[in-house]
C-alpha cells in the first residue's frame, strides 16, 4: 500500500496517494510494524504539505517524530528523522505565526538524526544532519551559524568518503560565504564543489527526474551560480589583470557547464573522449572571436574571447523576455512568404551583436564562433539583421557546444575522400526528397568517392563501406530528427533508423586511424521549434559522431535552393583555401543575393558546428 501511495504521489494523484498511505499506516500499526507505519505517515505528511494542507501535515510529522524517537538507532531511523526534519523545514516556510515552533522541531529532528548517526558510525547521514541544519539556519537568515554547521557537514562527509554529499555542502558553503560578503572565499568554495561534482556527475544525473530541464535546473545551477559570482567579483576589482583572470575563469566555468549539459543529453562518455585543451584553440586565428552569451534570469552577459583577451558586456534583458523573442523569431523565420521576421531579426541583433561591434571592428574580426546558451541554440545567428544587412553578409559564422570539445585542425584538402548517401524516395511514412539524387550526384562529380542512394542506403552497406575505406567527409541527404532526448534522435535509412549511438559506432570504425572524419553533413535534418534541448543535440552531433565538424540544418529544408547551397559550399572547399566557415558564408551569401532566395528561410538553417577552420 505504501508503494501504491508512492506511485500515486509521483503522478501527483494526491487524493489517491493519501488514501493509500493512511490505509498502509493503519494496517502496519495493527501488525505492530512500526517502521512501516512511520514511513507511510511521513509520506502522507509530505503530500499534505505539497497540497498546502499545513495543519494536517504538521500533525502527521509530529506524530511520526514521536514514534521515530522510540525506535532503536538504525540507518532507517536516521533516514526518517532527516525526512521529518526536511518536511518540517518546508512547513516552516508555509506558516508564519507558528514559524518558530516548527523551525525548532525541524532543528531537533536533525539533531537527533546526528546523535543516532554518531552512535552507529554513519558518517554520511551525520553529514546530512549537519548540512540540512545549515540549510535550515540559512532560511532563517542566520548565516554565520549556517556556515559553522555546513563546515561540520563537510568534515563528516569527507570522513565518510561521500562525494555525493560533499559537493552539496561545498556548494552551500559558497552560498553562505557569499551571503556574509566573503566573495573570494565563496568563489573558492564553489570551485571545490564543481571539482568534487565532476567525477560523479554522470552517476548523479542517473537519479534525476526524467525531465529534460532537470540537469540545468539542478546540477547545472551550481555552474551558473559560480559564473554569476565570478562576474560579480570581476565588476568589483580595479586591477585589469585580475579582472581579466576572473573573466577567463568564468569562461572555463561555462565550458565545464556546456560539457556537462552535452554529457547529460547523450548519456555517455563521448564528451570526455573529445575534450581538448582550450588554450590551444582560442589562439588559432587572430581574426576569430569566440562569443558566449550567458543567460541569467535578470540579464544576459556576453563574454567574448578575441586577440588573446576577454571582454564582458552586460545586456539588461530578462531571460524570460529574450526567450519569447527568440521563439517568435524562429517561428517567423520558417515562413518564407512573409517578412514579419525582420523587426525581430533587428531587435535580436541590437541585443546580441551591436554591443560587440566596437571590439569586433577594433580587432578586425572576420569569423564569429558562438557557444550558444538556452533558447539561443534554436536560431541561426546569420539571420540577425543590423537594419541594412544580415550578419552572415559581414562575418563567417559557426557554433560549437564548447571550445574544449573542438578539434582545431584545419581541413586537409589533399586527403578528401567522400562518402555520399541519401534518400530521394519516400520510405517508412516520410516524404520523398526529390533533390537528393541531384545533390548526391553533383558531389560525386566534384570529389569522386562512393555513393549509397535509396535502396542501397542501408546500415549494413554503410558499415561495410566504412570498414573498407577512410572517409574524411560523410554527406547524408536524408530525413533526420533531433529530439529533446538523444535516444529518440535519428537519421532515416531506406529500411531503418540510424540512431546517434549507432552512427558513432560506425564512424568509430575509422576514427582512430591516421585520417579522422573531418566533416559530417546532414542536409535535411530538423529540430523542434522552440526546443533548445533538441537544438543542443544538433549542436553536439559532431562531438557525438566523432567528427571534427558538422554541417546541419536547424529546420527541414530540401529543395533546389538548398541543393545549390550545399554544392556551392563543397565547391569552395575543393577549389579555394577558405575555411569551412568562410566557404559556408560565401555559399549562403550567393543564395541570398538571388532575388528569389533572399528570405533567410532558404539559406539560414544551415549551421557549421564545431571546427570552423
Residue-wise pLDDT for 106-136, tens only, equals 999 999 999 999 999 999 999 999 999 999 9
What is the predicted pLDDT for the residue at 54?
84
Say if residue 568's pLDDT is above 80: yes
**Helix (H), strand (E) counts: the chain:** 27, 13
Closest CA to 43 of 68, 72, 80: 80
Spatial CB neighbours of 332, under 8 Å, sequence gap ≥ 6: 338, 340, 341, 344
pLDDT digits (tens, 9 = 90+) for 409-445: 888 888 899 999 999 999 999 999 999 999 999 999 9
For residue range 47-59, what is the model confidence (pLDDT) as tens digits?
888 887 888 888 8
pLDDT of residue 97: 45
**pLDDT for 2:** 59
Tens-digit pLDDT profile for residues 529-547: 778 888 888 888 888 888 8
Nearest to 583, CA basis, from 606, 556, 557: 606
Please give the Cα distance from 528 to 535 (Å, whole number): 8
- Cβ-count burial 55-73 (b if 16+ within 10 Å, e if not): eebbebbbbbbebbeeeee
Q: Quick check: 277 pLDDT over 80?
A: no
Amino acid 525: pLDDT: 87
How far apart (Å, rounded) are the C-alpha atoms in residues 232 and 236? Answer: 7
**Sorting pLDDT into bands at 50, 70 and 90, what band is 404?**
confident
The model's pTM is 0.92
Q: Which of 52-66, 176-190, 587-601 has the lowest mean pLDDT?
A: 52-66
* Mean pLDDT calculated for residue range 232-242: 96
483 contacts 528 by C-beta, under 8 angstroms: yes
- Partners of 453 in the beta sheet? 422
Q: In the prediction, which pLDDT does 17 show?
A: 72
Per-residue pLDDT reduced to its tens digit, 389-398: 999 999 999 9
Q: Where are the alpha helices (DSSP H) in 425-474?
A: 436-447, 459-468
Q: Residue 207 above 50 pLDDT?
A: yes
Predicted local distance difference test score (pLDDT) of residue 38 = 85
- The more confidently predicted of residues 232 and 403 is 232
Cα separation, 48 vs 40, in Å, equals 12
230-244 residues labelled b (16+ CB within 10 A) or e (exposed)? bbebbeeeeeeeebb
Please report the domains of the chain, with CATH numbers, ordered by start residue: 1-121 (1.25.40.10), 123-207 (1.25.40.10), 266-405 (3.30.420), 413-610 (3.40.50.1460)
CA distance 50 to 234: 40
Q: What is the pLDDT of residues 219-228, one digit of tens each?
A: 899 999 999 9
Amino acid at each position: 500500500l505504501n508503494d501504491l501511495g508512492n506511485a500515486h504521489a509521483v503522478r501527483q494523484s494526491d487524493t489517491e496517494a493519501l488514501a493509500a498511505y493512511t490505509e498502509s499506516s493503519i494496517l502496519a500499526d495493527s501488525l505492530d510494524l512500526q517502521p512501516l507505519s512511520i514511513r507511510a505517515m511521513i509520506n502522507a505528511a509530505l503530500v499534505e504539505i505539497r497540497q498546502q494542507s499545513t495543519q494536517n501535515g504538521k500533525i502527521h510529522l509530529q506524530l511520526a517524530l514521536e514514534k521515530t524517537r522510540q525506535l532503536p538507532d538504525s540507518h532507517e531511523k536516521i533516514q526518517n528523522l532527516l525526512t521529518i526534519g526536511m518536511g518540517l523545514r518546508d512547513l516552516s516556510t508555509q506558516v508564519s505565526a507558528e514559524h518558530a515552533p516548527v523551525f525548532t522541531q525541524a532543528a531537533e529532528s536533525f539533531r537527533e538524526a546526528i546523535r543516532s548517526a554518531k552512535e552507529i558510525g554513519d558518517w554520511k547521514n551525520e553529514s546530512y544532519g549537519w548540512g540540512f541544519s545549515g540549510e535550515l539556519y540559512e532560511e532563517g537568515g542566520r548565516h554565520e551559524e549556517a556556515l559553522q554547521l555546513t563546515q561540520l557537514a563537510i568534515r563528516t562527509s569527507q570522513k565518510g568518503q561521500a562525494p555525493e554529499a560533499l559537493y552539496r555542502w561545498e556548494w552551500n558553503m559558497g552560498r553562505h560565504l557569499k551571503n556574509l560578503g566573503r566573495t573570494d572565499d565563496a568563489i573558492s568554495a564553489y570551485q571545490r564543489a564543481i571539482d568534487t561534482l565532476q567525477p560523479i556527475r554522470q552517476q548523479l544525473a542517473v537519479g534525476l527526474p526524467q525531465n529534460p530541464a532537470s540537469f540545468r535546473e539542478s546540477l547545472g545551477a551550481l555552474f551558473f551560480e559560480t559564473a554569476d559570482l565570478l562576474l560579480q567579483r570581476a565588476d568589483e576589482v580595479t586591477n585589469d589583470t585580475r579582472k581579466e583572470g576572473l573573466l577567463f575563469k568564468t569562461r572555463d566555468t561555462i565550458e565545464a557547464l556546456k560539457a556537462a549539459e552535452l554529457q547529460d543529453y547523450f548519456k555517455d562518455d563521448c564528451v570526455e573522449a573529445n575534450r581538448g585543451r582550450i588554450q590551444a584553440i582560442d589562439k588559432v586565428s587572430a581574426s576569430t572571436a569566440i562569443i558566449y552569451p550567458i543567460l541569467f534570469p535578470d540579464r544576459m552577459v556576453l563574454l567574448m574571447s578575441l586577440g588573446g583577451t576577454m571582454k564582458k558586456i552586460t545586456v539588461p534583458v530578462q531571460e524570460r523576455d529574450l526567450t519569447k523573442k527568440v521563439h517568435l523569431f524562429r517561428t517567423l523565420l520558417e515562413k518564407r512568404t512573409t517578412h514579419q521576421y525582420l523587426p525581430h531579426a533587428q531587435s535580436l541583433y541590437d541585443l546580441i551583436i551591436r554591443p560587440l561591434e566596437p571590439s569586433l571592428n577594433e580587432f578586425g574580426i572576420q569569423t564569429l564562433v558562438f557557444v550558444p546558451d538556452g533558447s539561443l541554440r534554436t536560431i541561426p545567428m546569420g539571420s540577425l539583421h543590423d537594419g541594412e544587412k544580415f550578419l552572415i553578409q559581414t562575418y563567417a559564422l559557426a557554433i560549437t557546444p564548447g571550445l574544449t570539445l573542438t578539434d582545431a585542425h584545419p581541413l586537409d584538402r589533399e586527403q578528401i575522400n567522400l562518402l555520399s548517401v541519401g534518400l530521394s524516395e519516400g520510405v517508412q511514412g516520410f516524404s520523398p526528397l526529390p533533390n537528393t539524387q541531384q545533390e548526391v550526384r553533383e558531389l560525386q562529380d566534384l570529389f569522386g568517392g562512393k555513393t549509397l542512394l535509396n535502396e542501397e542506403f542501408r546500415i549494413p552497406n554503410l558499415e561495410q563501406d566504412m570498414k573498407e575505406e577512410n572517409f574524411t567527409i560523410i554527406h547524408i541527404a536524408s530525413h533526420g530528427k533531433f529530439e529533446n532526448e538523444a535516444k529518440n534522435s535519428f537519421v532515416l535509412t531506406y529500411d531503418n533508423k540510424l540512431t546517434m549511438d549507432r552512427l558513432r559506432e560506425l564512424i568509430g570504425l575509422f576514427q582512430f586511424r591516421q585520417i579522422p572524419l573531418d566533416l559530417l553533413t546532414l542536409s535535411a535534418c530538423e529540430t523542434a521549434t522552440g526546443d533548445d534541448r533538441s537544438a543542443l543535440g544538433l549542436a553536439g552531433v559532431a562531438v557525438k559522431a566523432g567528427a571534427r565538424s558538422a554541417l546541419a540544418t536547424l529546420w527541414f529544408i530540401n529543395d533546389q535552393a538548398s541543393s545549390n547551397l550545399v554544392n556551392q559550399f563543397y565547391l569552395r572547399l575543393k577549389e579555394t583555401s577558405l575555411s569551412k566557415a568562410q566557404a559556408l558564408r560565401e555559399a549562403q551569401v550567393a543564395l541570398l543575393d538571388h532575388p528569389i532566395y533572399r528570405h533567410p528561410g532558404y539559406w539560414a538553417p544551415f549551421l557549421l558546428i564545431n571546427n570552423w577552420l
